[in-house]
Amino acid sequence: MTVTGAAPIRASEALRKKLAKIGLHCEADLLVHLPLRYEDETRITPVARAATGQPVQVEVVVRHSETQFRPRRQLVVHAGDESGEITLRFFSFYPSQQAALAAGARIRAFGEVRGGFFGAEMVHPRFHKVLEGEALPEAMTPVYPSTAGLANSALQKLIARALAEGDLSETLPEALRDELRLPGLARSLRFLHMPPPGTPLETLHVRNHPAWRRVKFDEVLAQQLSLRRAYLARREQGAPVLVARDNLGARLLDSLPFGLTGAQLRAMAEIAADLAQPYPMQRLLQGDVGAGKTIVAALAACQAISAGWQAAFMAPTEILAEQHYLKLSAWLAPLGVKVAWLSGSLRSRAKREQLAATAADAQLIVGTHALIQDGVDFARLGLAIVDEQHRFGVAQRLALRKKGNNPHQLMMSATPIPRTLAMSYYADLDVTVLDELPPGRTPIRTRLVADNRRDDVIGFVRKQVDEGRQAYWVCPLIEESEALQLQTAEETYARLAEELPELRIGLVHGRMKADEKQTAMAAFAAGEIDVLVATTVIEVGVDVPNASLMVIEHAERFGLSQLHQLRGRVGRGSYDSSCVLIYAGPLGETARQRLKIIYENTDGFEIARQDLRLRGPGEFVGSRQSGVPLLRYADLEMDADLVEMARGCAESLLRDAPELAEKHLARWLGSREELLKS
Ligand code: ADP
Ligand code: MG
């Protein structure tokens, strides 16, 4: 990686390599490499009072030192001060250290003192030789995040030099700082790297000291600036102005058996306004499973089509893409719209036809990743719709965009994420939330059942089918092995077929060929199968209103959002629906919490919020997906107010003081910013 805009760190080649390992490339990086914790070496504790359970510093004179070989090789040093005696023990040591600890030496040792059988004892203390009366350090000792072979003292030295010589100039205008009640940057950084004696370490370690708040704010601000700038840059590009030239959208609405919800109407209006702008829309449509995103997307497509452009609709799995294709065709083909279908499973002749249509007169093109392959040419792509966008990588979404000349983009996601997280990770998008489910949905009853009561569940399945309903039976997730997963699915299938001989049982799993999956799904949708045994391939998007029961085996192995998505497969019609979570004990603490959360909540946003608390944001969104580096210091839950503040501040800084914004970005992202531009 090349480092630009900042001086490389002045250090030996070998040292620089180690620094690079922990992301330290330039002098500016050193300034914001902050301590994990501190050790207080500004004070001496008398040996007699040293056993506090906290690390302390003692100053002692060595009485006697020797190497012992039992029970294992070790250096044992007897030492003491006026108040008492202490043993220092080292299990690995260099000859130079042994020499430094010879009788008569005066040393300062830092570590935790334990009262052992032979009196007070320190194991592997950090120590150095001193002269009698030597001055104590004037600041706490910072302990930095490091890597193997990189001594804390080396980092300390480099960072102290960077603090003395580096650029600590302010990037927040004073008025703003006052308004936000944040201390100055230089002061904050000096304080955090070298807290003065007497600073209560507690407030530093929990990181709610004003100096920490300032640093965390700056970090969040850098993230917001970077995403916002990318957003504005994309806005600079021109895009086709999609103004409807006929009443296609209105005719689609007329043909539906339902009216839109208020939330759908609002989303539709926002999207319609975006599409009519001369710059590309960058909108994320978020809505819980079943909120009705597809029709909103279809209406957006109508606007593009009726303006004389093409719309593309990409979904992450074959099954889901096909469902969309069938549904969108059913809606739009009768209105005279030409719909094309592209998927990996097409045979070559059909594929040639669909490709030709895409390059010519197809108006809506639905498909999987097949849409972004080389050799797929769109005649006039004006709108790119991506369903379940978090299932795609940044590069894939970009590839779809590249199929047109700055088309508008509509991304959809059924993984609701909490507001602060959305603000942080999606600061480069406009976000619309469908916060209302279509009316007439019956709530889904969730039951937790221990696996020794599986027979009851079988009985329940039979009863549902007797009433004319259908059921999903999801097999245990086996993350370690796809082969094992497949085997389990086949066993579950065989076992259910045996236990429910009078029912028609089907099976879909990830290893089946696309057309086999299709056939099974289609049969289930058509009501020719009563119970569909499935791996998690049915997780996203499928829509069978007659299915009223979802059974999930080994529910304790699934993540919260997966459970929520799976549960959302039922309750889509007007029938009483349930979700049965079969679990096998004993449950670990996290698994227990997950099951409790899914049992107690139906609102996807609330589940997401609790999931965030359980897992932390890194795993939640995944840095790879968003391209946004994880925040090092700020915590999105604890520092939610900072995210709010930084968002507004980023806007005003980019507008009123772009040079400060640049400087701020260089300081915080420096060499890392290239990563964000992907
Ligand atoms: P999701 O947001 O999970 O993608 P879908 O778009 O698949 O949800 O919609 C779920 C079901 O609800 C579909 O059968 C759809 O036709 C239906 N639907 C969508 N909007 C409404 C509405 N306003 N009233 C009634 N049913 C609706
Ligand atoms: Mg959907």
**CATH number (domain holding residue 119):** 2.40.50.140
- The ligand that comes nearest to the alpha carbon of residue 540 is 2
Distance 294 CA to ligand 1 centre (A): 7
In the numeric block, which tokens belong to residue 667? Answer: 């300081």
Distance 629 CA to ligand 2 centre (A): 28
Residue 420 has pLDDT above 80, yes or no: no
Residue 392 carries which DSSP code? Answer: S
Q: Which of 107, 58, 101 is nearest to 83 (CA)?
A: 58
Inside any domain, residue 641: no
Are residues 187 and 257 both part of a single domain? no
- The ligand that comes nearest to the alpha carbon of residue 286 is 1
Distance 324 CA to ligand 2 centre (A): 8
Whether residue 435 has its Cβ less than 6 Å from ligand 1: no
Residue 622 has pLDDT above 50, yes or no: no
Q: Which atom of ligand 1 is nearest to the CA of 259?
A: 23
Inside any domain, residue 32: yes
Phi and psi at 217, nearest 5°, equal -60, -45
- Kindly report the protein residue whose alpha carbon is nearest to atom 18 of ligand 1: 292
Distance 258 CA to ligand 2 centre (A): 17
Altogether, the residues listed in the chain come to a count of 678
Inside any domain, residue 647: no
Whether residue 544 has its Cβ less than 6 Å from ligand 1: no
Torsion of CA 202, 203, 207, 209, to 10 degrees: -170
Taking the C-alpha atoms of residue 290 and residue 440, their distance in angstroms, rounded to an integer, is 12
At 624, is the pLDDT very low, low, confident or very high (cuts 50, 70, 90)?
very low
Residue 1 has pLDDT above 60, yes or no: no
Per-residue CA distances from 533 to 377, 485, 490 (Å): 38, 13, 9
Name the burial class of residue 95, with classes exposed (0-12), middle (13-18) and buried (19+) by CB atoms within 10 angstroms of its CB. Answer: exposed
Are residues 53 and 23 both part of a single domain? no
- Kindly report the protein residue whose alpha carbon is nearest to atom 15 of ligand 1: 292
Question: Tens digit of pLDDT for each residue in 217-274?
Answer: 999 999 899 888 888 888 888 999 999 999 999 999 999 999 999 999 999 999 999 9
Are residues 300 and 400 both part of a single domain? yes
HSE-CB of 278 using CA atoms within 13 angstroms: 2
Are residues 494 and 536 both part of a single domain? yes
At 53, is the pLDDT very low, low, confident or very high (cuts 50, 70, 90)?
confident
Are residues 194 and 152 both part of a single domain? yes
Please give the tally of structural domains in the chain.
4
Are residues 149 and 181 both part of a single domain? yes
Question: Tens digit of pLDDT for each residue in 456-467?
Answer: 999 999 999 999
In the numeric block, which tokens belong to residue 113? Answer: 């003192």
Contact call for residues 186 and 168 (beta carbons, < 8 A) = yes
Inside any domain, residue 666: no
Distance 289 CA to ligand 2 centre (A): 7
Are residues 565 and 585 both part of a single domain? yes
Whether residue 295 has its Cβ less than 6 Å from ligand 1: yes
The last residue of a domain, from among 585, 601, 617: 601
Whether residue 290 has its Cβ less than 6 Å from ligand 1: yes
Whether residue 287 has its Cβ less than 6 Å from ligand 1: yes
Inside any domain, residue 387: yes
Inside any domain, residue 120: yes
Distance 370 CA to ligand 1 centre (A): 25
Other CB atoms within 10 Å distance of the CB of residue 554: 18
Are residues 345 and 471 both part of a single domain? no
Distance 571 CA to ligand 2 centre (A): 14
Taking the C-alpha atoms of residue 35 and residue 426, their distance in angstroms, rounded to an integer, is 29
Give the least confident one: 155-169, 219-233, 448-462.
Answer: 219-233
Name the burial class of residue 315, with classes exposed (0-12), middle (13-18) and buried (19+) by CB atoms within 10 angstroms of its CB. Answer: buried
Inside any domain, residue 638: no
Whether residue 291 has its Cβ less than 6 Å from ligand 1: yes
Whether residue 262 has its Cβ less than 6 Å from ligand 1: no
Q: Which domain holds residue 20?
A: 13-38+143-206
List for the chain the helix, strand, coil content (%; round to 5): 45, 20, 35
Other CB atoms within 10 Å distance of the CB of residue 135: 7
Q: The CATH number of the domain where 596 resides is what? A: 3.40.50.300
The average pLDDT across 116-129 equals: 87
Q: Exposure pattern of 495-516 as b/e (b: 16+ CB <10 Å)?
A: ebbeebeebbbbbbbeebebee
Are residues 252 and 401 both part of a single domain? yes
- The ligand that comes nearest to the alpha carbon of residue 298 is 1
At 671, is the pLDDT very low, low, confident or very high (cuts 50, 70, 90)?
low
Question: Tens digit of pLDDT for each residue in 360-393?
Answer: 999 999 999 999 999 999 999 999 999 988 778 7
Whether residue 404 has its Cβ less than 6 Å from ligand 1: no
Name the burial class of residue 400, with classes exposed (0-12), middle (13-18) and buried (19+) by CB atoms within 10 angstroms of its CB. Answer: buried
Are residues 399 and 267 both part of a single domain? yes
Taking the C-alpha atoms of residue 127 and residue 41, their distance in angstroms, rounded to an integer, is 11
Are residues 404 and 516 both part of a single domain? no
Contact call for residues 199 and 43 (beta carbons, < 8 A) = no
At 675, is the pLDDT very low, low, confident or very high (cuts 50, 70, 90)?
very low
Report pLDDT for 674.
46
The last residue of a domain, from among 81, 105, 135: 135
- Kindly report the protein residue whose alpha carbon is nearest to atom 9 of ligand 1: 292
The last residue of a domain, from among 392, 416, 434: 434
The structure's pTM equals: 0.72
Residue 26 carries which DSSP code? Answer: B
Are residues 276 and 423 both part of a single domain? yes
At 553, is the pLDDT very low, low, confident or very high (cuts 50, 70, 90)?
very high
Inside any domain, residue 376: yes
The average pLDDT across 66-78 equals: 91
Phi and psi at 398, nearest 5°, equal -65, -40
Whether residue 571 has its Cβ less than 6 Å from ligand 1: no
Whether residue 471 has its Cβ less than 6 Å from ligand 1: no
Question: Tens digit of pLDDT for each residue in 265-323?
Answer: 999 999 999 999 999 999 999 988 888 999 999 999 999 999 999 999 999 887 788 88
Distance 533 CA to ligand 2 centre (A): 21
Taking the C-alpha atoms of residue 30 and residue 24, their distance in angstroms, rounded to an integer, is 6
